Structure 1
Amino acid sequence: MLIQTEVGRAEVVAKQLAELPGVRSAEYVTGPYDVVARVGADTPDELHRGVVTAVQRAAGITRTLTCPIAGAQQP
């Protein structure tokens, strides 16, 4: 997921997201997005209703873009 945050909140948001179930990693970055999070779940429904929704509700997030990885094996 590519995530935009409120100004100055990228590091805090990344640390907060890293603690959520289904978030495999969350790093703050520079550029048009502030945080990149790798998320996963057993089913697409669980991914959307559980993980993505939880990420989007996190304090300090202003916008997200979910980019599914096609054809990749998940560890």
Structure 2
Amino acid sequence: MVQAYILIQTNVGKARDVAAKVAEIDGVSLSEDVTGPYDVIARIEAEDVNALGSLVIAKIQDTPGVSRTLTCTIVHV
């Protein structure tokens, strides 16, 4: 299992809507609107890195109002 935090920038005024829509996506365990340089932070998990990439590209980036994402994969050192 691969887990990551996705930092999401949205179009102006769309953070609440984006957070709600992202929360509905399978594989998203948490989606919160936040302050700072990013508007939404989501925690996701997928079977492997390829599935994680597909989830981000095909589902999260395709959500209306999303302008940019940054994927931070969780590592245990």
Q: TM-score scaled to structure 2, two decimals?
A: 0.88
**For structure 2, which runs of at least 5 residues remain unmatched after alignment?**
1-5
**For structure 1, which runs of at least 5 residues remain unmatched after alignment?**
none
Q: Which has the higher strand share?
A: 2
Identity among equivalent positions (%) equals 48
RMSD of aligned Cα (Å): 1.1
Alpha-carbon shift at residue 63 of structure 1 (Å)? 0.5
Alpha-carbon shift at residue 38 of structure 1 (Å)? 0.3
Code of the aligned partner of 1:43: D
Structure having greater relative contact order (Cα 8 Å, sep ≥ 6):
2
Say how many residue pairs are matched.
71
Moved over 4 A (4+): none
Q: What CA distance in whole angstroms lies between the structure 1 residues aligned with 2:45 and 2:66?
A: 19
Alpha-carbon shift at residue 47 of structure 1 (Å)? 0.8
Confirm whether residue 3 of structure 1 aligns to residue 1 of structure 2.
no
